[in-house]
């Protein structure tokens, strides 16, 4: 028999995966078992989120590690050319490549700080 600590330390997903492996079906959405498991999982997730939340201490309020260097090169876009040509390429391509052409055009066309 398991102790309370051993039972409590098992996560919701461990229990779900055990049930799937044994061949039993998961609880239906309207059932009491599903609602109880969902509530327990949400409560567990909320407590984990609170405990891992880190306060940022940067003056501008931005979080460190948000930028991804090398996105232009990885997407296959090039910042060479005029602002007009970059904007036309941005219209032509979609997805990440299009975003990078827009970014390059904005960086080239931007005003310098005085």
Q: What percent of the chain lies above the pLDDT cut of 70?
A: 67
> Between helices 95-109 and 83-92, what is the axis angle to 10°?
160
User: How many Cβ atoms from other residues are within 10 Å of residue 103's Cβ?
Assistant: 17
Distance in angstroms (rounded) separating the CA atoms of residues 87 and 105: 6
Average pLDDT over residues 26-51: 76
pLDDT in tens, 49-68: 565 555 655 566 555 555 67
SS3 call for 94:
coil
In three-state form (DSSP H/G/I as H, E/B as E, the rest C), the secondary structure along 18-57 is HHHHCCCCCCCCCCHHHHHHHHHHHHHHHHHHHHHCCCCC
Q: What are the extents of the domains in the chain?
A: 72-109
């Amino acid at each position: 028999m398991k102790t309370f600590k051993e039972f409590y330390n098992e996560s919701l997903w461990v229990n779900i995966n055990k049930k799937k492996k044994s061949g039993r079906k998961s609880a239906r959405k309207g059932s009491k078992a599903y609602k109880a498991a969902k509530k327990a999982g949400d409560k567990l997730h909320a407590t984990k989120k609170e405990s891992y939340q880190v306060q940022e201490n940067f003056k501008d309020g931005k979080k460190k590690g948000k930028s991804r260097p090398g996105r232009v090169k990885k997407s296959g876009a090039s910042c060479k050319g005029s602002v007009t040509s970059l904007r036309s390429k941005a219209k032509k391509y979609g997805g990440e490549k299009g975003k990078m052409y827009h970014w390059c055009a904005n960086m080239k066309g931007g005003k310098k700080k005085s």
